[in-house]
């Protein structure tokens, strides 16, 4: 176990350095050895789950391998954890600090101490050297550490290295809004005096869960730095918006009014309010200066404008996940851990036999119980009973306040004493960090942080889609709203809309996935089917298909005059669990968040809400937009490819199709899954492995029928993923040569086409395997029966052709030999044959198969030959004579007939 120790009363620099160090030491954990600064405490109340923090009491000292101490060189600042420094089993102790000239009493084996403004800067420099990227949450807390310890680069100890480190953290996605919330810039003495006056005179109002304050300060003259005072008031009073007015005289009959505005309320725009009065700024920060005006009238006008802009905040009903996974108080700790592992939860609610909520148990509680050997104990002995609950109508600010005040990471949502859903820290953070900006016309856009890559809301979505398709989605959303459900456009359609937006192009979507999320109301597992049936009543030309044990439905149009050939899948939001690798997943009804979490790659885990009141809201829980911007394929879960190898083929298909790169960690996961041998073991232990059978064939079909199939195969080979078809399959020089020959044959002999070309490519790949494996692989992939027989008989057919064809002395003998084989078999034989034989097969297919007898059955009848079995022999002999140039016209044909078949 590798531990990172922060000093007691940890500040942001200690926490930021520790978080960065976890990326340099994969698998390490952070221990806060004794409390933290109030701002750090408040920050962790919301963000704790983003970082690998563990409690000191859960650590087994015998398992500690190394200690890494950040932001201190004194053991007495490590609290009770200082005793770990003397453990005999420690391999090393490393100290990271930026305080020079101190005598250290920590027995460090290595030290990293340098003259910079923050310890975090030292960690950032090592991350840069090793080219390690960060998540937004990691970059944010590290940037906070540098901001706080350098006074946002204003303190004397600040260095250019700190500035460069901050710039890099911004590139990594550090959230400026979070940083501004928690940093402390400090105030001058004059502003501190005005702060006291302002706090005594502030007036407040609460609207839609937000608090707005205003105050007028009268001074003798201009006061610099009022913007800092406004920001300080916001932080100290925890208000959401403020109007700070400062009135001072310019002479006996002249005065000036300065108004500073600050707002943290989403969708408010102070710039729009201040501009008509001659001021301006940004949506969240604006100011104005006026002379000889009624200050109170101006302040009232601005205040009324702010109130008019305040939106109805999201409620628990909008944020929560449902249904909620619950357990009984008698459930064992071991079983609770198994449920957490299966569903990826960080806590479970405990209910009694009547379904009444009686407690909650977190992953930390379970870990501690397991650490002490109580795996068989019931959870009731470890659960927390004193629960804070909220209702479906509790607003986001109220939820945030409860979480911060009581340091609670998950809040149950109760309606009529029934458990309806759960709101977690992650839910709150995602909502708070969903950044918005506005264009000049007031049209709101979602913005990817640190980029110009944007997605407009519903108006732009409407412009992107054909009117008839937009009408279909509108109708579907209206039908969902009637039933109290949410409806989302999910997956590839959203991804392709984003890419079309980025390229300033248009997109005609032919395949649409819709997900119904209605467990906060009354939806059951059949919600998708019910919605599909309702839509078919409105669109009677669509064919309705209901399939799968989970009751998903599809509406299909074929050459419709308006919707053309459109496929719309409609399903209820669900979660899934794989009982064993390569199996079909077991699915359960769940929420949209869990539905997106089960998907393959971040770029496919996007959703657009189609129902009000938040129509056009983009759900991006896993950084899919950033990955689209970075043009990379990133998997959602470390075990994703072990559970479902077809995701490897999908990832390659998306990478080649869009010109993206497979992200480095994702590629490592792919190679690990392939090299682990898990697929072979699974196939031996289980008769049904759909992800290596029918679903793999479907992915191969998508790849091999696409124009980019060659590049996709080469990438699959580079990843060694062709082993999923068979362990010995590799894309060597000979296979590539055969595939090139195959394409020439298909273009020449089947231009229409009449054959299924992707299947021919797959057969050519399988044909490269040793003969004993071919039919088995074809059967495993459940190819068509004629394909299986062709691969099964390829050896005998090829042997016969290769032995007999060189002995043929005339075209007729060639035709007699080869016409017993169909075109696909001859193509497979040709691509594996030497050039001389391939030339003869080519000539047979291009020339000799087109030769016909000079006389036909009607001619024979006219010449007096009675119809019967003899006709076949006559015509065959005449064809042979024609091929061999024995007869050249009808006259010679009749002479040949009279000579060999006299009447």
What pLDDT is attached to residue 505? 45
Count CB-CB contacts under 10 A for residue 374: 16
The pTM score is: 0.63
> Beta 632-633 vs 661-662: how paired, if at all?
parallel
The percent of residues above 70 in pLDDT, for the chain, comes to: 91
Compare 392 and 684 and report the one with higher pLDDT.
Answer: 392
Give the single-character DSSP code of 869.
T
CB 44 within 8 A of CB 14: no
Helix (H) or strand (E) segment spanning residue 662: strand 661-662
Which is it for the CA torsion 170, 172, 173, 175, positive or negative? negative
What pLDDT is attached to residue 874? 85
What is the rounded average pLDDT of the residues 182-204?
Answer: 82
> Beta 255-263 vs 285-291: how paired, if at all?
antiparallel
Confidence of residue 375 (pLDDT cuts 50, 70, 90): very high
φ/ψ of residue 101, rounded to 5: 75, 15
Over the stretch 849-862, which tens digit does the pLDDT of each residue have? 888 888 888 888 88
Which range (544-553, 786-795, 812-821) has the least confidence?
544-553
Omega before residue 735 within 30° of 0, cis: no
Residue 321 predicted with pLDDT over 80: no
Over the stretch 356-370, which tens digit does the pLDDT of each residue have? 899 999 888 899 899
What pLDDT is attached to residue 864? 76
Distance separating alpha carbons of residues 618 and 607, to the nearest angstrom = 6
What pLDDT is attached to residue 172? 95
What is the rounded average pLDDT of the residues 343-355?
Answer: 83
Confidence of residue 437 (pLDDT cuts 50, 70, 90): very low
Confidence of residue 550 (pLDDT cuts 50, 70, 90): low
**Tokens at residue 605, please?**
């885990």
Helix axis angle, 425-432 relative to 396-406, nearest 10°? 130
Residue 458 predicted with pLDDT over 70: no
The percent of residues above 90 in pLDDT, for the chain, comes to: 49
Spatial CB neighbours of 723, under 8 Å, sequence gap ≥ 6 = 674, 679, 729
Distances from the Cα of 721 to the Cα of 150, 692, 695, 728, angstroms:
50, 12, 15, 11
Count CB-CB contacts under 10 A for residue 488: 25
Distances from the Cα of 309 to the Cα of 199, 272, 313, 453, angstroms:
25, 10, 12, 26
Residue 440 predicted with pLDDT over 50: no
What pLDDT is attached to residue 451? 34
Distance separating alpha carbons of residues 124 and 178, to the nearest angstrom = 19
What pLDDT is attached to residue 243? 96
Vertex 409 angle, CA 404 and 413, to 5°: 100
Spatial CB neighbours of 809, under 8 Å, sequence gap ≥ 6 = none
Compare 328 and 74 and report the one with higher pLDDT.
Answer: 328
Distance separating alpha carbons of residues 27 and 19, to the nearest angstrom = 12
Work out the mean pLDDT of the chain and round it to a whole number: 86
Residue 749 predicted with pLDDT over 50: yes
**Tokens at residue 240, please?**
């959401």
Compare 615 and 293 and report the one with higher pLDDT.
Answer: 293
In three-state secondary structure terms, 575 is: strand
Compare 120 and 890 and report the one with higher pLDDT.
Answer: 120
φ/ψ of residue 99, rounded to 5: -100, 105
Residue 691 predicted with pLDDT over 50: yes
Confidence of residue 64 (pLDDT cuts 50, 70, 90): very high
What pLDDT is attached to residue 791? 95
Vertex 99 angle, CA 96 and 100, to 5°: 110
What pLDDT is attached to residue 586? 62
**Tokens at residue 602, please?**
């971040």
What is the rounded average pLDDT of the residues 477-495?
Answer: 91
What pLDDT is attached to residue 2? 94
What is the distance, to the nearest Å, from the Cα of residue 453 to the centroid of all Cα atoms in its chain?
17
CB 278 within 8 A of CB 248: no
What pLDDT is attached to residue 578? 59
What is the rounded average pLDDT of the residues 257-275?
Answer: 88
């Amino acid at each position: 176990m590798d531990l990172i120790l922060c000093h007691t009363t940890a500040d942001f620099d200690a926490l930021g350095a520790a978080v960065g160090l976890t990326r340099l030491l994969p698998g390490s954990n952070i221990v806060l050895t004794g409390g933290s600064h109030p701002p750090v405490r408040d920050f962790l109340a919301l963000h704790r789950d983003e970082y690998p923090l563990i409690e000191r009491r859960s650590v087994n000292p015998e398992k500690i391998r190394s200690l890494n101490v950040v932001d201190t060189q004194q053991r007495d600042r490590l609290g009770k954890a200082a005793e770990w420094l003397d453990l005999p089993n420690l391999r090393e102790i490393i100290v990271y600090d930026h305080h020079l000239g101190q005598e250290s009493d920590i027995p460090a084996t290595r030290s990293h101490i340098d003259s910079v403004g923050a310890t975090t800067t030292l960690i950032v420099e090592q991350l840069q050297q090793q080219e390690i990227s960060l998540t937004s949450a990691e970059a944010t807390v590290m940037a906070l550490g540098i901001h706080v310890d350098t006074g946002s680069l204003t303190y004397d100890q600040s260095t250019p290295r700190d500035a460069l480190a901050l710039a890099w953290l911004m590139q990594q996605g550090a959230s400026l809004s979070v940083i501004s919330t928690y940093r402390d810039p400090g105030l001058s003495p004059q502003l501190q005096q005005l702060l006291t006056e302002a706090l005594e005179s502030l007036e407040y109002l609460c609207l839609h869960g937000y608090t707005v304050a205003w105050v007028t300060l009268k001074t003798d003259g201009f006061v610099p730095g009022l913007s800092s005072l406004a920001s300080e008031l916001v932080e100290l009073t925890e208000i959401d918006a403020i109007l700070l007015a400062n009135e001072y005289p310019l002479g006996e009959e002249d005065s000036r009014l300065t108004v500073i505005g600050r707002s943290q309320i989403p969708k408010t725009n102070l710039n729009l309010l201040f501009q008509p009065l001659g001021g301006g700024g940004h949506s969240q920060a604006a100011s104005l200066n006026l002379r000889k005006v009624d200050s109170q009238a101006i302040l009232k006008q601005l205040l009324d404008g702010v109130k008019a802009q305040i939106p109805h905040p999201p409620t628990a009903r909008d944020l929560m996940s449902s249904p909620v996974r619950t357990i009984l108080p008698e459930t064992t700790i071991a079983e609770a851990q198994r449920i957490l592992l299966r569903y990826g939860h960080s806590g479970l609610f405990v209910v009694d036999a009547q379904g009444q909520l009686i407690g909650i148990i977190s992953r930390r509680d379970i870990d501690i119980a397991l650490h002490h050997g109580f795996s068989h104990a019931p959870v009731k002995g470890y659960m927390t009973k004193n629960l804070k609950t909220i209702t479906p109508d509790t607003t986001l600010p109220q939820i945030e306040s409860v979480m911060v005040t009581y340091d609670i990471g998950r809040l149950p949502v109760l309606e009529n004493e029934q458990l309806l859903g759960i709101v977690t820290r992650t839910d709150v953070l995602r909502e708070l960090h969903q950044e918005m900006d506005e264009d000049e016309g007031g049209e709101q856009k979602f913005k990817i942080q640190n980029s110009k890559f944007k997605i407009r809301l519903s108006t732009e979505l409407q412009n992107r889609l054909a009117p008839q398709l937009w009408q279909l989605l509108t109708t579907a959303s209206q039908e969902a709203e009637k039933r109290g459900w949410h409806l989302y456009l999910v997956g590839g359609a959203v991804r392709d809309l984003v890419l079309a937006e980025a390229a300033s192009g248009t997109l005609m979507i032919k395949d649409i996935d819709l997900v119904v999320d209605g467990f906060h109301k009354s939806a059951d597992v059949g919600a998708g089917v019910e919605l599909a049936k309702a839509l078919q009543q409105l669109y009677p030309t669509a064919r309705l298909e209901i399939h799968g044990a989970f009751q998903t439905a599809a509406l299909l149009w074929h050459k419709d005059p308006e919707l053309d050939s459109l496929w719309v899948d409609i399903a209820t939001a669900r979660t899934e669990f794989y009982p064993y690798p390569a199996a079909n997943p077991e699915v359960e009804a769940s929420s949209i968040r869990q539905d997106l979490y089960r998907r393959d790659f971040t770029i496919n885990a996007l959703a657009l809400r189609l129902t009000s009141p938040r129509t056009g809201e983009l759900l991006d829980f896993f950084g899919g937009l950033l990955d689209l911007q970075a043009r990379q394929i990133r998997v959602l879960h470390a075990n994703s490819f072990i559970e479902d190898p077809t995701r490897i083929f999908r990832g390659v298909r998306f990478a080649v199709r869009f010109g993206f790169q497979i992200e480095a960690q994702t590629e490592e996961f792919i190679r690990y899954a392939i090299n682990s041998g898990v697929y072979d073991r699974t196939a031996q232990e289980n008769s049904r492995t759909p992800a290596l059978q029918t679903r793999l064939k479907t992915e191969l079909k998508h790849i091999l029928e696409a124009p980019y199939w060659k590049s996709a195969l080469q990438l699959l080979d580079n990843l060694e993923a062709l082993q999923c078809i068979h362990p010995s399959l590799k894309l060597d020089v000979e296979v590539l040569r055969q595939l090139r020959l195959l394409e020439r044959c298909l273009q020449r002999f089947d231009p229409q086409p009449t054959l299924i070309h992707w299947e021919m490519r797959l057969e050519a790949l399988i044909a490269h395997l040793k003969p004993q494996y071919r039919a088995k692989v074809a059967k495993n992939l459940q190819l068509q029966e004629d394909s299986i027989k062709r691969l099964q008989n390829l050896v005998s057919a090829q042997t016969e052709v290769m032995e007999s064809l060189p002995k043929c002395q005339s075209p007729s003998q060639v035709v007699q030999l080869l016409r017993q084989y169909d075109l696909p078999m001859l193509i497979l034989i040709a691509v594996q044959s030497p050039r001389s034989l391939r030339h003869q097969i080519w000539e047979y297919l291009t020339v000799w198969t087109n030769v016909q007898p000079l006389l036909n059955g009607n001619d024979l009848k006219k010449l007096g030959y009675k119809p019967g079995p003899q006709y076949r022999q006559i015509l065959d002999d005449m064809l042979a004579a024609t091929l061999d140039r024995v007869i050249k016209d009808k006259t010679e044909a009749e002479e040949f007939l009279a000579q060999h078949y006299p009447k």
